[in-house]
Amino acid sequence: MTAGNRRHVVWIGPTSWDGIPGTDRPLAMELTRYAHVLWVDPPVSAVTPARLRGEVSGGLLPRLTDISADITRLTPVALPFLSRPVVRTTTAPLLRAQVSWALRRLGVQPFAVIAGYLEDVLGRWDGAVNVLYNTDDHVAGAELMGLSRARIQAQEKEAARRADVVAVVSAQLGEHWSALGVTPVLIPNGCNAAYLQGSSSRPAVTDLPRPVIGLVGQLTERIDLGVLTAVADAGYSLLLVGPYDPGWERDGFAALIGRPNVRYVGRVPAEEVPSYLAGIDVGLTPYADSPFNRASFPMKTLEYFSAGLPVVSTDLPGSRWLWDDLADRQPRSADQLMMLTSDPAEFVTGVRRLAGEPGSGHPHQDAATVAGLARAFAAEHTWARRADELATAIGLRAARQPDAAEIS
């Protein structure tokens, strides 16, 4: 196993490579245009319950596997009961030791170490650029995630001290880290360029009356169930795609998906998502107005745009940032592509404006024109562009050596 003669980046991910892709994985994949990536899964122990370790298989020894010629995956291990206070003090040192072991096996030195979460891993490799890539307000989300607010605050202070670069996905997160004495770099979430040329997928769901209003993503406490209920109450067909957290609104969610005009298909493989997007006329980003959501950036909105769909979204700062950029780039058509709303009633008004009346058979807008405009906007916000921004921020772009094709 070798990583070749390229520069190398260690990306310590907040989720396993096999988990829900989220933000870190697509950005790491695009960064391979500049460097080989050693992706590091979160550590698990052999006794960690499957429900807590997701797709990561517990084992007694760390494992290195090749994802591709450009990405090597490290699956580290930790001691049993790694989240308990005493054992927890061993987790970060063990993780750092296993990363060092992997680098020795590969025979490389890292150009940069990027941490996708707050574990104590930065500042440990001589000459490497230490990068904290922050996608969420962990302090605001401590209760949501069942974590200690005080511990997270201590971790943030230590990360701010050790990081050479702090990258954030939203201006609100930037303000949070500025208060800790750093100058963060804004690199918002991006979208998958594969959708931009249009989808040849046949719609996976065809028996719902058009227009179909859809939500693709995780169904958790972050979502405002009142919005989904209001859309269904208005008579629209509602398609829900994504994993459901059984701790969220159990009775209300069960009542919603029991309606004849609502279809819930659960989690689907990533390669099948385009076929579900192909059956949607308007995408929903119905985040609840909470401190955690206000610091986030709505990746799903860009994914709807990349699939050629208009969007109705909660008016949160990240969505407002996208709206402002859309209005700047496409001032004459912004209202055709995106509506910002503040409550369930406004959501229904926004849906009606973009989709027409429920059961009318088709959206009242020219779908082909809207799709072209939406994809043109999404093309300005791909993961490739975000990786270019990150590579510039950490000095990797300037250090890149052109390949033979570029020289010729």
Question: Which residues partner with 191 through β-bridges?
Answer: 382
Looking at domain 193-381, which of 2.60.40.10, 3.40.50.1100, 3.30.1330.30, 3.40.50.2000 is its CATH number? 3.40.50.2000
Q: What is the pLDDT of residues 213-266, one digit of tens each?
A: 999 999 999 999 999 999 999 999 999 999 999 999 999 999 999 999 999 999
pLDDT of residue 364: 66
- Mean pLDDT, 10 residues at a time, over the chain (408 residues)? 73 90 92 97 72 52 94 91 70 93 96 93 94 92 76 92 96 96 97 74 90 96 97 98 95 97 95 92 97 95 96 97 97 96 97 91 80 95 97 88 44
Whole-model pTM: value is: 0.89
pLDDT of residue 61: 85
Residues of the chain with CATH 3.40.50.2000: 8-190+383-407, 193-381
* Main-chain phi, psi angles of 152, to 5 degrees: -65, -40
Give the chain's largest Cα–Cα span.
Answer: 64
What is the distance between the alpha carbons of residues 361 and 364, in angstroms, rounded to a whole number? 9
The dihedral region occupied by 207, where left means phi > 0, alpha psi between -120 and 50, and beta the remainder, is: alpha
Question: Which residues partner with 240 through β-bridges?
Answer: 215, 264
Q: Strand pairing of 63-66 and 71-75?
A: antiparallel
Looking at domain 8-190+383-407, which of 3.40.50.2000, 2.60.40.420, 3.30.70.330, 3.40.50.10090 is its CATH number? 3.40.50.2000
Q: Can you say whether the dihedral through the CA atoms of 376, 381, 387, 388 is positive or negative?
A: positive
pLDDT of residue 128: 97
Q: Can you say whether the dihedral through the CA atoms of 203, 206, 209, 214 is positive or negative?
A: negative
pLDDT of residue 407: 37
**Radius of gyration of the chain measured on its C-alpha atoms:** 22
Query: What are the residues whose beta carbons fall under 8 Å from the beta carbon of 388, sequence distance 6 or more?
Result: 397
pLDDT of residue 199: 60
CA-angle at 378, arms to 377 and 382, nearest 5°: 135
Peptide bond into 43 cis (omega under 30): no
